[in-house]
Amino acid sequence: MTLSYRLMGVVNVTPDSFSDGGQFASAGAAISHARGLVAEGADILDIGGESTRPGAERVSVDEELRRVLPVLEGFAAARVRAQVSIDTSKAPVARAAIEAGAGVVNDVSALRADPAMVGLVAESGVECCLMHMLGEPRTMQRDPRYEDVVDEVKAFLQERLSFAVREGVREERIMLDPGIGFGKTVAHNLALLRRLRELTSLGRPLVVGTSRKSFLGRVLADAAGEAEPVALARRLPGTIATNVLALERGASVFRVHDVAPVRAALATAAATLNERWIPSTARSPTS
């Protein structure tokens, strides 16, 4: 067995993201942050101009473009050495991002929000990530319920995969994301992580995004005997643990804020889980 994986570094160009809202809202700050993530080992940079945190309001196409285009253009000018992903559910934003060099469309609606998105992805030949979400960001955490969360998420991802392929998207260009934290309780998120191997039967790379999420704050608070979820700054151990467990259960793309420590943990886990240790070629330092 040989395990391989990719790290997707998060670059939020938003004023209201749950983890770093406003911190990288300017193009200069976002580009500098992205270069730092690449230096830490990010393989993909996921650029988002609209928050998808619980309760977030939608923004217009024009506003989303205003936020992300200068960053994408800055990446090209700076020759940032990573694949670029655009985190959007709007086809006009995705099209502009692809024209600016993006090679992945990360659509949290799984091609449901904009009817034009699937045709754009098929026509352009970029990779895409299809994610499960119950409802939409404004409503997804209002008493989410499932008969069996893993079975239902799997069925949803299978249906969206089949839809994308029927519409001309090449299957080998599709990644699937169970949507940790998107319309799920703590118990739902833990069940998905525990049974992640069941989703690998869909035959596509699995993306996992647990980084700094609120369910980790709750789990860590319970472990420490604290009444309130622990703060964002204390969620890194939970992020690392869930990503290592997800690697062991078949995930291969990890969307994170803290690239360096997660990469180190995954490298150690992969060396342990592989039948033999395969040293990789040293990464070239970024300019």
Residue 277 confidence (pLDDT): 64
pLDDT along the chain (287 residues), means of 10: 86 68 72 94 95 78 94 87 96 97 97 97 98 78 87 98 98 98 95 98 98 96 96 96 97 97 96 73 45
Find all residues with CB under 8 Å of 209, minimum gap 6, and list them.
177, 180, 181, 254, 255, 256
Structural domain contains residue 278: no
Task: Please check whether residue 193 is in contact with residue 249, taking contact to mean a CB–CB distance below 8 angstroms.
Answer: yes
Structural domain contains residue 287: no
Strands across the sheet with 44-48, in order? 174-177, 127-131, 104-107, 83-87, 44-48, 6-12, 253-256, 207-208
Structural domain contains residue 31: yes
The enclosing domain of 203 has a CATH number of 3.20.20.20
Q: Which residues pair with 128 in a beta bridge?
A: 105, 174
Structural domain contains residue 286: no
Residue 286 confidence (pLDDT): 43
DSSP 8-state class, residue 233: G
Structural domain contains residue 177: yes
Residue 27 confidence (pLDDT): 84
Give ∠ CA 173-129-247 in degrees, rounded to 5.
Answer: 95
pTM for the model stands at 0.91
Task: Please check whether residue 146 is in contact with residue 182, taking contact to mean a CB–CB distance below 8 angstroms.
Answer: no
Catalytic residues, by residue number, are 213, 255
Look-up of token digits 């200068």: 70
Count up the domains in the chain and report the number: 1
Q: Which residues pair with 8 in a beta bridge?
A: 44, 255
Give the domain range for residue 82: 6-273
Structural domain contains residue 148: yes
Distances 180 to 134, 186, 214, 216 between C-alpha atoms, Å: 11, 9, 10, 11
Structural domain contains residue 279: no
Residue 64 confidence (pLDDT): 95
Task: Please check whether residue 24 is in contact with residue 11, taking contact to mean a CB–CB distance below 8 angstroms.
Answer: yes
Residue 56 confidence (pLDDT): 67
Q: Which residues pair with 6 in a beta bridge?
A: 253
Structural domain contains residue 281: no
